[in-house]
Amino acid sequence: MQQISTAWQALDTRRRMIAGAAAVAMFAAILALSGLAAKPRMALLYAGLEAAQAGQVVSALDQRGVSYEVKGDSIWVDAAQRDALRMSLASDGLPESGGNGYELLDTLSGFGTTSQMFDAAYWRAKEGELARTILSNHEIRAARVHIANPVGQGFRNTVRPTASVTVTTVNGGLSPPQAKALKYMVSSAVSGMRPEDVSIIDSASGLVSVGDDTPQRSNDMRAAELRRNAERVLEARVGYGNAVVEVAVDTVTEREAVTERRIDPQTRVAISTDSEERKRQDSNNRSGATTVASNLPEGNGANDSRSQSQDNETRERTNYEVSETTREVVRDPGDIKRLTVAVLVDGVEGKDDKGQPTTAPRSDEEIAALHDLVASAVGFDEARGDVITIRSMPFRPLEATGTEATGGFLASQSFDLMRMAEIGVVALVVLILGLFVVRPMLLQRREPALPAPSGGAGLPVPVADSLPAMAAPAMAMPAMAPMAEPELVMPSFGMADISLPGETVGAMEGDPVARLRTLIQQRRAESAEILRGWMETPDREV
């Protein structure tokens, strides 16, 4: 403190103002940066909420007295309290997701509720529950479900409900597998609805196509499955990474129905026999003309004539069944029309006579065995025109294109970079202010008194009457009145600290003025400081 006080008294008014302003600025910077460093680290509580949902969360935070920050559609709180706040808000049902669900039905009373009102509330509750289920996926930020349930009409046998789902994802868009899952989830929750009756709409990319009905996607999926089957079989023999399989699937793109009927007349089978026999016998008696003699008792009235006939007929019928073959072939789109498989396996590693590593192709017996395995794995059908090609060739080794990225020393350490940066800025500001403000102030102090010469006490301050005139006219000092007090004593100069020639030392032993002059020449800077101090000392009346 004595040094600081001495340095402060040695400064003029301008320097004192500059030093004061620098000190105030230093302390203000230290306080500001200390407050910044002591500020709690903020973490994201919720983001992407609707205005109503965000307002409810902010109101709940105000009631709890929690400090928070709102940045756009994001709410930030202290990182140490974030998890506890999420659990606390979730217990209060915040933030609300997907609207109301089946709790809408609790508000309906039996009095004054018509069937139309109940149906409308039921479908609203169904939509809300489905939206809640969709929002349980962390990749979906918002979801709306709309269900159209047509009312039954006359002369219409089947009336199916339809639905549309609009989603907003956190990053990117909705993938076809996710859209397919949503289709099946919504259709399974509504009675009579099929997956194709559900439309999935992404707010970023529009209508999402599942892609199951596209032939190209079906071919790619089938080819990938067959390729995996073949690779799994080959790698068990040749090793992982030593076999490359490519499968091309040619499918039927049109629907074809072929009906074939064949009748062989050479092959017949009797299935039934009918036999019919007819006999007919006929007799005919003819009489003469009627006369008077015919009326006489004994007269021969007329001459009679008689004829007979007999007919026999036999008929037999045999029914035969002719051999008949009916063949019907139906080909739907997506059926495999032709399969092509290409397989490339690595050779067998070995060494030649000189001990150098070599790679030789595999034997024909092994290639044939691999061919049979691949044919069984992919479902080879020669009648269909399938082709399998297997070749054994040495693989070219992969060349390294770079170095592997590894984590440094700081990667395994858990540091808060923002907090370290704040502390570093505070330390840097304090260091700069200390070096360029405080240190110059401390250096502006009076120099220590010069040591007295060895063997003698301090000399009294010579006045103008006792000091001889200097050799140089510029060094002549004005006459000064003798002062009673304070008695200023010349500091003692230690002769041991001064290296002077031998004759100079001998001359100084007898003449004090010569000795003072010699010391001034040896220590000019210190002498100038002493004279400056004398000049700045206020005059006192004697």
Condensed to tens digits (0 to 9), the pLDDT of residues 248-287 reads: 988 877 777 888 888 877 777 778 888 888 887 777 665 5
> Under a CB-based contact definition with an 8 Å cutoff, are residues 167 and 203 in contact?
yes
**Length of the chain in terms of residues written:** 542
For the domain spanning 221-254+333-392, the CATH number is 3.30.300
Pairing of strands 387-392, 68-71: unpaired
Residue 357: cis peptide before it, omega within 30 degrees of 0:
no
Neighbours of 266 (CB within 10 A): 6
**How many whole angstroms separate alpha carbon 45 and alpha carbon 86?**
7
pLDDT tens series, the chain, 542 aa: 676 677 677 777 777 787 777 778 777 777 776 666 667 778 888 887 778 788 888 898 999 888 888 888 789 888 888 888 888 888 887 777 656 777 777 777 767 778 788 888 888 889 888 988 898 888 888 888 999 988 766 566 677 889 999 998 888 788 888 888 999 999 999 988 998 899 999 988 888 877 655 556 667 788 888 999 999 999 998 888 889 999 998 887 777 788 888 887 777 777 888 888 888 777 766 555 566 665 666 655 555 556 677 778 888 888 878 778 888 887 777 778 899 999 999 988 888 888 888 888 899 999 999 999 999 999 999 998 999 999 998 888 766 666 666 655 555 555 566 667 767 776 777 777 677 666 665 565 444 444 444 444 444 444 444 344 333 333 334 444 444 444 444 444 444 444 444 444 444 455 777 888 888 888 888 888 887 777 776 655 44
For the domain spanning 42-91, the CATH number is 3.30.70
Reported pTM: 0.40
Looking at residue 283, its amino acid is: S
Sign of the C-alpha dihedral, residues 469, 471, 473, 474?
negative
Phi, psi for residue 338 in degrees, rounded to 5:
-160, 145
Reduce the DSSP state of residue 214 to 3 states and report it: coil
For 120-130, the pLDDT digits (tens) are 888 888 988 89
Rounded to the nearest 5 degrees, what angle is found at the Cα of 157, between the Cα atoms of 154 and 160?
105
Rounded to the nearest 5 degrees, what angle is found at the Cα of 306, between the Cα atoms of 301 and 307?
160
> Under a CB-based contact definition with an 8 Å cutoff, are residues 358 and 305 in contact?
no
Domain 102-211 in CATH 3.40.50.2000? The answer is no
**Residue 131, Cα to own-chain centre: how many angstroms?**
23
